[in-house]
Amino acid sequence: MPELPEVETMVRGLRPVVEGRKIEKFLRCRCRCKPISASPTFPTISKKVRGCKITAVRRIAKRVVLDLDNDHSMVIEPRMTGLMLLTDPPDTEHLRFEWKLAGRGATKSFWFWDRRGLGTLSLLSSAEIQTKLGPAKLGPDALLMTVNEWGKMCEKTSRPIKVAMMVQKFVAGIGNLYASEILHRAKIHPETPAKSLKKKHTAKLQKFTLEILTEAIRYEGSTLGDGTYRNALNEAGGYQNAHRVYARAGKVCTSCQQTEILRIVQCQRSTFYCPACQPPV
């Protein structure tokens, strides 16, 4: 589920409550679902983080990173349905992990909740973060990517631009939903080979990626029809009301007010676009 804006919202929600406090205990919640994959194993992680202070909460691409005072970080990848919660969860049967915090008087907990259970947890040293989540594995963060970097990325692949935008090694943070939204705002057809895009196109990609993701963060992300995505206080996001194309197949385009939004499939994922506003190149 979560793409960059949703993960950024989780991080911003967690940060003021969690930063500077100590992990009294890190627990696996009892639920009968298959356990979340963890590396190293959960017991090892649990032992190593007990008593550590959380020095910072940050985002790397679509991951939540909890920096500890022992030169390691807990990295949570929410994938499709994972949530970081400071309050009561949508249901208790998909709670996965609980962090019990000490300090500042009362004990406080926060949780990882994941319905489908595709999320992951890992404990990485700062060196491992460099190798596993560094420039060798991830492209520039979508919010920081320059026009020049967009140009370089598009030069080196002939894949359709929508597909290329979702390759985290090219640009980190964009997923299926925001890729469609960005291309619509940039008026670029999703099947255009990245290689054939000119400077004026890559300039638009930079501009509207920044604009849309920033706006989505301001709205605290997108909560789709199934209602899964929630911020740290279990509240729905608001950006879904601003979507121009995502999940709007068959509806009239809000830009041209004439043409119906189409749905196509690229790499097993739905793409939505307006054939009038985004004509083939």
Partner DNA sequence: ATTAATGTTCAGAA
Partner DNA sequence: TTTCTGAACATTAA
* Residues of this chain that bind DNA (CB under 7 A): 1-3, 6, 33-34, 61-62, 77, 79-80, 93-94, 115-118, 156-159, 163, 166, 168, 175-177, 221-226, 228-229, 267-270
State the nearest-atom distance from the C-beta of 172 to DNA, in Å. 8
For the question of residue 3 being annotated catalytic, the response is yes
Please state, in angstroms and rounded to a whole number, the distance separating the CA atoms of residues 21 and 129.
Answer: 22
State the nearest-atom distance from the C-beta of 53 to DNA, in Å. 28
For the question of residue 135 being annotated catalytic, the response is no
Which one, of 3, 8, 62, lies nearest residue 181 by Cα?
Answer: 3
137 within 8 A of 169, measured Cβ to Cβ: yes
Please state, in angstroms and rounded to a whole number, the distance separating the CA atoms of residues 135 and 145.
Answer: 13
State the nearest-atom distance from the C-beta of 135 to DNA, in Å. 15
**DSSP 8-state symbol, 275:** T
Q: Which is nearer to DNA, 23 or 154 (CB)?
A: 154
DSSP string, 10-30: HHHHHHHHHTT-EEEEEEE--
Q: Which is nearer to DNA, 175 or 208 (CB)?
A: 175
Please state, in angstroms and rounded to a whole number, the distance separating the CA atoms of residues 241 and 251.
Answer: 14
- One of 25, 28, 269, 275 is an active-site residue; which one? 269
Please state, in angstroms and rounded to a whole number, the distance separating the CA atoms of residues 205 and 181.
Answer: 11
- One of 59, 62, 204, 230 is an active-site residue; which one? 62
State the nearest-atom distance from the C-beta of 114 to DNA, in Å. 8
197 within 8 A of 161, measured Cβ to Cβ: yes
Q: Which is nearer to DNA, 99 or 239 (CB)?
A: 239
For the question of residue 96 being annotated catalytic, the response is no
State the nearest-atom distance from the C-beta of 230 to DNA, in Å. 9
Q: Which is nearer to DNA, 23 or 78 (CB)?
A: 78
Q: Which is nearer to DNA, 255 or 270 (CB)?
A: 270
β-partners of residue 111 are 85, 98
Backbone angles phi, psi at 154, to 5 degrees: -70, -30
Please state, in angstroms and rounded to a whole number, the distance separating the CA atoms of residues 99 and 44.
Answer: 15
For the question of residue 269 being annotated catalytic, the response is yes
Give me the active site residues, please.
2-3, 62, 269
